Structure 1
Amino acid sequence: MEEPVADKPVVLLVDDETSILNSLRRLLRNQPYEVLLAESGAQALEVLEQRPVSLVISDARMPNMDGATLLAHIHQRFPATLRILLTGYADMDTIAKAINDGQIHRYISKPWNDEELLVTLRQALAYQHSESERRRLEQLAQTQNQQLKALNASLEQRVAARTAELQQTADMLDLAYEELKRSYVTGTEVFSLLANLRLPKAKQTNRQVIELIRVCCTRHRLDEGRSRDLTMAAALYNIGKMSWSDSMLTCPADLLPHTERDLYRAYPKHSESLVMTLEPMKEAARIILHHQERWDGSGFPGRLKGEAIPQDARWLKLAVDFIELQRGLILERQMNSDEALVYIRRYAGKLYDPGLVEDFVKVCAEFLSDVTLADPTVKVLSTRDLAGGMVLARNLNADNGMLLLNAGKVLSAALVDKLIAFEEMEGGKYSVFVKAPEELVLPAVAQTTA
């Protein structure tokens, strides 16, 4: 049966003597209890079957069913109802039975003290109320814990589902961003080709610089992000030149008048400022800004020196200078690829990172079929180091571009003397690419020495 829930505690008095019941009822008349009476154990059980009772006070000695037996039944059938035994001093066996079988809360001796009895009742009912409240709170806590567990499980499922959705969205955004960055690479290359239309075909550089940088990236197994940044930098490194006059665009850097030198030295900064606002191009912009720095610190715009120059900017400078030397945009004379590499070797440690130069020569040999400098049988000599029997590996041009000798020409001692004389007359200095097998070089050297 459920615990008593009445507004006032219900107290059931059980005794076979009417006078005792009346006496107890009078004692409890002014107390905040609802008082019920029963004259036997059987009648008391009937009352309990009909309604909840907070506390039972039963006399120990009653016919048919004594108090201990009644309280034992109540303990089994109505355990929430408190049980108090009213007994005489000689009823110790009954008391023991009530304690053991009925699990009574207290026992009160006859004759009782009214005040002590009232205190006992108040304490018993207060204890019952606290226990009832404790059980209610425990049940509430269990219910709330179960609801919380269910809520947590549901929340975890929703969080997991939402996390999966967010991850899927993030993955899609990453793919979209990667595609956007790849689109930027394509876009920069297209734009560089459009910008190059301002230049004569013989002076256009961007396509070759891009392709050379791609070979560098592949050879050194650079990751996708770094390769992309370098490629975009190669495409737009000279976009800051587009505001120049046509004559300045095609003029070799070493022939620019003094009034235009400051504008020339400002072009990396102008190029950087045009692309740095685009988020995917921030690193490319940094490479562009520093691609004209020099290893010895004499470059521009920051006069950075050595390792302070970003490595990718050092690679870009090698590629840009290699192509621009061949287009006549640095020196007056247009060089061939081998001559450009000789120039780069000559200025390793001054203009270029000495640790990258030889590797760059190998990259160029892979990139261009006409590079012979990587061939160990090809030597680059001055005219005074030439000897009869050597074979030209490349065409030999004068500083003004005039063809002097074709590749494949076998040099004689007389021809070497003529080259020396022509060089002195022009005031130039030629770099001659020759193949010099030992069987050809040694006799010629011996003859010259003789």
Structure 2
Amino acid sequence: MIVDLIDTFEQLDRAAGEWEAVYRADPHARYFVSFRFLRDWLQSFDSHWFVLAAKPAPKSSYEAFLPLRLRTYARPDGRCVSEILMAGNYGADYTGLVALPDRARSAIPALARSLKLMHWSRLNLDYVPADDMRYRQLLAHFKEPGFRLDSEVRVNQRDNVNNLVCPTLELAPTWEGYLETLSANMRQKLRKLLRQVEADPSLSITQPTAATISADIEAMNALWLARWAERKGTERAHRILATNRQLLLDAFGRGDLFMPVLRKDGIMVAALATLVDPLKKAALFYMTGRDESFEGPAPGLLLHAHSIRSLIGEGFRTYDFLRGDEPYKLLFGPRMQHLQCLRIATRSGLNLGDRLESRAIRSALTLATVAHRKGRFRQAAAGYTQILATNPNDADALYRYAQLLDKVGQADHARLLLRRAAYARTRTRADG
């Protein structure tokens, strides 16, 4: 197997058709690892994303994709280490590998070899399917003395919600057929809720249009914020909404957003945003916002019922509540899909090979510069030295390290680095 590293959108777009074919064939792959989702999502990041793409021969089609991101941070001593994340974090409820079912066993050793050639201290396999044995096969390639393997639980201690469980409905071909899978009490409740809306002229359920989508998302976000800001903290809540805002706008632009809005006398009282996967006919409930003071029909249950009925009518086969086993989700009769968060870490806590990954240099330079400006000269020097060990001709690192050395009284060394920086810049301009 050959593994290519894709890290530009031009390369990514050339692989779009092959990715889509592999995604369709992979029974474990869900919307958040589809090309249509990740193509927009990756634009939220800089050049730190990359995809490992495996194929059997140079002119063959790709048979597996592993979309990843690199994040770099400074240790207390100033040395920088990187961790590899799944590319979908932290907007995706599912992440992981996309592979042809009968070719994954060949692709995984090649992907593991490629990962071992990179320079990282931790690999985070977050929110990958627990019943997908391919991740255990991948971890088996890291059962060596230099690595530590671990897993994490994700249970919210405040309300005992397990965020490694995704309640998912297998939808019947008809609404009435779906209702027959529920308890008599739940059937009656959902029918009553839908009748209440249909009988009350002050209530309506609408879908956003191109003219209203931005305002509708903002209104839903405001309702969500009123409910969650105190619990999550205002700053974190606003970060979550910023991510969700762009994700939902992108989904609307692709035609992948189903977002019923419940209005009372024309004013939004609740909205429910669901991502829809046209390739696998899967719907994934993503977020909701509701006016807690609304005294009409229970808006959450109502909008889920409306969504399920509408999506069954459009031929959708699954309705996924995504992460969290909150009690209200269980009323709809789901089966439980289990996820896992796996960790591969170097025992030393340092990057493999004790070097910086080349794509981490800009982040390391920023971290060293911040330490420099704050007067943490020892930490800054460790960062600059580490960068120069990877790229001895990095003009910015040479120049800033020279400034630091001059500041601490090492003028001769500083002048030497300044000459190297000037030469490096001259060479860069000449090559350009």
Instruction: Using structure 1 for the length normalisation, give the TM-score.
Output: 0.20
Q: Indicate the structure with greater strand content.
A: 2
**More relative contact order, 1 or 2 (CA 8 Å, 6+ apart):** 2
Q: Normalized against structure 2, the TM-score is what?
A: 0.21
In our comparison, the structure showing a higher alpha carbon Rg is 1
Structure with the larger helix share: 1
